[in-house]
Chains A and B, each alone.
Chain A
Amino acid sequence: AQRVTQPEKLLSVFKGAPVELKCNYSYSGSPELFWYVQYSRQRLQLLLRHISRESIKGFTADLNKGETSFHLKKPFAQEEDSAMYYCALGGGSNYKLTFGKGTLLTVNP
């Protein structure tokens, strides 16, 4: 069974501070990991995916298969980063995604 755990419901940091949103997964196959973001009054959108190894809006995430983690990091948080972040796990032939419960990030001025 696929499972995604985001241990922090709420995370509050100050502007300019580093931020790390944790994500752990459980999956027996080859995982595909994603981070989705939902800004206030906007639709849920893809932030980044592990297969692309890209950096979006200063965020990066590295897939660690040994620790089964896909933590989202940014060295200097900005107020506009305040949003709900969801980690999602895909894999297999059914193209379903399993979402974590989300972490609400607040960046204070």
Chain B
Amino acid sequence: DGGITQSPKYLFRKEGQNVTLSCEQNLNHDAMYWYRQDPGQGLRLIYYSQIVNDFQKGDIAEGYSVSREKKESFPLTVTSAQKNPTAFYLCASSSWTGYNEQFFGPGTRLTVL
């Protein structure tokens, strides 16, 4: 393991608060991704970034925001506009030469109280 780190492992938030999840990679990968994992739903793409200073919405971007100021970092902010934020969040990265293979972090479990 290693290469992609996510922090914190567990996060608790009160309703109405924004919270930022950290994702860092030292694999020198160009692309990074955020997924949400819910039981029975599989992995759903929130946002992805193919290069620094650029990112695109995934399938469920509403209520989330991201930034990509550095190649190795892709933080995700869960805003108060996200109606059902309690979930397990996974970050991943990939290289252009990796045949789309994505490498995943350990995840952050967010609970809204």
A residues lining the B interface (CB < 8 Å) = 6, 9, 32, 34, 43-46, 49, 51, 86, 90-91, 94-102
Contact = CB atoms under 8 A, between A and B. Distances in A.
Contact of B42 (A34, A46, A90, A102): A102
A95 B31 CA distance: 8
Identify whether the interface residues of B are mostly helix, strand, loop, or mixed. Answer: strand
B48 A34 contact: no
B87 to A, nearest CB: 15
Given A95-B50, A96-B48, A49 B43 contact: no
Most B Cβ at <10 Å: residue of A34, A90, A95, A100: A95
A24 to B, nearest CB: 14
A94 B104 CA distance: 18
A97 B102 contact: yes
Interface residues of B, number: 27
A9 B40 contact: yes
Given A43-B107, A44-B90, A90-B100, 15 more contacts: A6-B42, A9-B40, A34-B100, A43-B104, A44-B104, A86-B43, A94-B50, A94-B56, A95-B96, A96-B45, A96-B48, A97-B45, A99-B42, A100-B42, A101-B40
B99 interface: yes
B23 to A, nearest CB: 13
Contact of B99 (A49, A96, A99): A49
